[in-house]
Amino acid sequence: MLDLINNYLNSGDIDNSGIANSLISLLNNALDAKNSGNDQASDNLMQAFINEVEAQSGKHISTSAADILINTANYIINN
């Protein structure tokens, strides 16, 4: 997903580097929590990621990119 965010930033589907950095930070924190065995914290951080993407959809994140990011995050939470 980190590559996906960077690709969207480069293509303009995410038009604000601060938002991209915030999303990347959430993903890194979720991964750290998962690697520490704290699945609940990881899921909570992934939900925060989804909430941020939803808030920026159609604003600083294209709706098509937002849909893909949200679907991917939900897949990660559920698997």
Walk along the chain (79 residues) in steps of 10 and give the mean pLDDT of each run: 97 98 98 97 98 98 98 96
Q: What is the pLDDT of residue 55?
A: 98
Q: How far apart, in whole angstroms, are the C-alpha atoms of residue 12 and residue 41?
A: 31
pTM of the predicted model over 0.75: yes
Cα dist from 48 to 6, 12, 23, 31, 66, whole Å? 19, 22, 9, 13, 14
Q: What is the pLDDT of residue 15?
A: 98
Q: What is the pLDDT of residue 61?
A: 98
Sequence-distant (≥ 6) Cβ neighbours of residue 25 within 8 angstroms: none
